[in-house]
Structure 1
């Protein structure tokens, strides 16, 4: 339909749902996450609390301008379109209200708003919720690449909040289970790297990659044979597993009932990328796929 967008047909859809079901069963449910359904249209008032977006990568978001509700506000627009059959952009600009939303670039934004308006005691922690209800959006500009870097994509977004040790433990268990799926169930060539998100200051980039409590993110990456030798090529990140410490707690003013120190974390299991990585390594011949994937795929696709 547009740059960085695809219409995914039945066979891709069945493979997508098969891999999604494996990740939910073997990662999400194994660790006890519960489902949420989140909006993907994010008000500025929420988005401006997200660390690093408006002040670091505003060029990577889609902005939404709501229309006025009075039908007559579009009279000139409709008349011009009926005559020319072209979208009168200048008239549309004059008619629309100022931008006040973005299309969700991170998927987790509403979670932090939810956590900020609820209070829980220490005995209730950790809280573990996930959303897998649809697309999120990023404007990649000239950085688009096939199925691995697109404008709209799907993820399983997990968020977790609790005492510091709980949050670190959950993140590490997600990494462990994600590696299990990549290695044992999908039979992919994988590696785990220690990384830092874009909003982390340069002064905080020094950390011991083997001391989990100090590592902002562990990324699960998959080798893509078409990119060249594994020692030289860029591997594909399919999961970014984060511990934010107090970054989001402070930004969204999240508090516990008894004012105990709490941390947050999130993980994006990039479904679109898991599928692309699987096809890059296993190819399009179903007989070459691992049995578990093949069986789920055939069951979903049907006759």
Structure 2
């Protein structure tokens, strides 16, 4: 049972325990100045102590691109991940719950700020310990193929639980949240958490990878055209994938009674990832009797995160998630 004493012990142990694990710095562009009053996190956890399995013959090179033009509002994306890792956001007063956050990027890149650090800061300010996952990309030639990002998500969930005391969190109360293609990864983790996608490397891999709850946000879900996001589909399973392969990587096709409760969010005017992705997933969840909270907004488009919701009803979504999470006893 998780009690307040665990919070105290976990906090005291954190500085000692983290030094024993390998760490690679967060993705960063060489020579880039930090944003004033908005420092990047520095604490990371490498997922694979001996290196990620199934390295391509020609390994990609990790590269950070600055896509924005406002120096006070960065919009960075990273590609070519070879050392998948978690970037940690610790709250000042932890509430005992954690969130594994998976940014999107069409399985071509991983958005750093808009769907990673910004939501992590927002949630950590409310007591959640947040782990932003920088996962390997399926188009880079890893041996695991379409399962490579899921391997990293499974491993991340297990590591968070294994090190729960280091972060003063309850190992049972670890949620998953993902955006766009990261939302597909979130749905994949929620439905295929028990799939064997890699060989066990240590004691952490004996733990469950099942999220306590899952929140796929404007998520890619279907791998079948025309509902599928064509770019994500091509990167994940290939342009000429068979119907069998499509079904294997469509979360709605893999829902079981063990799938955790889900929070779904989508804008109906999303011209990039059709709202049918979330509707089909909701229908599959309902068919299995899984608790599902669904919020559809008339306006919002795609990739709104936090920064593109100002003045719109969709701006309420983070608070809606937190209130729903309370009903599920996440915090």
Q: Same fold per TM (> 0.5)? A: no
The structure with more radius of gyration: 1
Q: Give the structure-2-normalised TM-score.
A: 0.28
Scaled by the length of structure 1, the TM-score of the pair is: 0.30
Structure number with the bigger relative contact order (C-alpha 8 A, sep ≥ 6) is 1
**Structure with greater proportional helix content:** 1
